[in-house]
Structure 1
Amino acid sequence: MHEDHDDREGHDDREDREETGGDASSRGVERDDREFLSLERELTVLLRRARANQGEMAREVHPDLESAAYGLLVRLEECGRQRATELAAYIGVGKATMSRQLRALEQLGLIAREPDPADGRAWLVDLTEEGRTRVRRVRDARRERYVSHFSDWDRREVGELARLLHQLNRGMEK
């Protein structure tokens, strides 16, 4: 992994000028802001690719699965049974959206809901065995692709990237 973002293979300062509407200094952007312009560009590319990958993974779980629901399945696979309200808060959607997504997942046979014994008004959601099997299969295949894509990275670099992404995600929650 390269320390200096301008040393990336194929990187050309002209790309910065073209994507940001000219030379940063000519637009009144401080030279110190170049890192943030680069960050914005790289995050835009990453997020575009992530959306496409999420849709692909959702279809691998089930052809009728909405891409937005894939994150719910991953959360349940990692954390186990949860209240619908906890899932909604984690994903960042309202109760109505969560209810609609859970209903669709239930109809596909990927999750099951049951009343929360501690609070009969709340629902607990968990993966069905079929849901768990499908999600694990997709995640295992995806992990193998990550191992392949990052084969020239040192494991410490991969760990550092994961740590920084976690820090970014935590910071964006605020």
Structure 2
Amino acid sequence: MDKSSNTQADSQIKGLLDELARSSRILRVFSHMDQTDPEVSNASHHVLKTLNSREPTHAADLAQFLGIGTAAMSRHLAELEDSGLVAKRSSKIDARRHVLWVTEAGRAKLEFRDRLRLERMRGLLPDWDPERLTQISQALSELNDTMMRGIHSQRTEQFGTAGEAEHGQE
């Protein structure tokens, strides 16, 4: 690859990073618009949504999947348990670990917020081609998966396998 190709690729990657940062800020504002429960933060809602798709599971496994530290995960789970949205029991295999799942109240909360977000997005995108939305969704999914693999790989190099979840960031 020649120097001009590297410069162009660098420029494209910088543009992508700028748009991702902008998207992150916009999504944060968007999420706060439908904050329906002052006891459950948007970050904890994301943990709840992820748990719902991966249950039953353990806190450490969920933290590793999301790329956040176990201390942050503990805070989110405490918030969700206090609100009655997540339940846990001791693992039958290892009593030191807990198995987590989403309660019926948690599922109702997820449904309600998902419906709010869907209605809001539908209102913003009435003229968008469904095929384009599918392509964008697939591209973002691929990008997210690639970035998570990179994060896990770098953490493994820095901290070893056991340190991945311990040194994660929110």
Q: TM-score range by the shorter chain?
A: 0.7 to 0.9
What SS does the aligned partner of 1:151 have? coil
What SS does the aligned partner of 2:97 have? strand
Cα root mean square deviation, aligned: 2.1
Alignment of 1:160-171 (within 5 A): 160-171=135-146
Larger radius of gyration: 1
Separation of aligned partners in 2, 1:87 and 1:47: 21
Separation of aligned partners in 2, 1:167 and 1:32: 18
What SS does the aligned partner of 2:115 have? helix
TM-score by length of 1: 0.74
Alignment of 1:2-21 (within 5 A): none
Flag structure 1 segments of 5+ consecutive residues without an equivalent. 1-28
Alignment of 1:147-162 (within 5 A): 147-162=122-137
Partner of 1:101: 76
Point out which structure has higher relative CO (alpha carbons under 8 A, 6+ apart). Answer: 2
- Contact 1:112–1:126 (8 Å) recurs in 2: yes
Partner of 1:39: 16
Q: 1:118 offset after TM fit, Å?
A: 2.5
Partner of 1:133: 108
Q: CA, structure 1 residues 156+95, in 2 after alignment: closer, same or farther (shift >3 Å)? A: same
- Contact 2:58–2:100 (8 Å) recurs in 1: yes
Partner of 1:53: 30
Q: 1:123 offset after TM fit, Å?
A: 0.7
Question: Which one of 99, 108, 119 corresponds to residue 124 of structure 1?
Answer: 99
Separation of aligned partners in 2, 1:136 and 1:162: 20
TM-score by length of 2: 0.75
- Contact 1:54–1:70 (8 Å) recurs in 2: no
Question: Which one of 116, 120, 125 corresponds to residue 145 of structure 1?
Answer: 120
- Identical positions, percent: 28
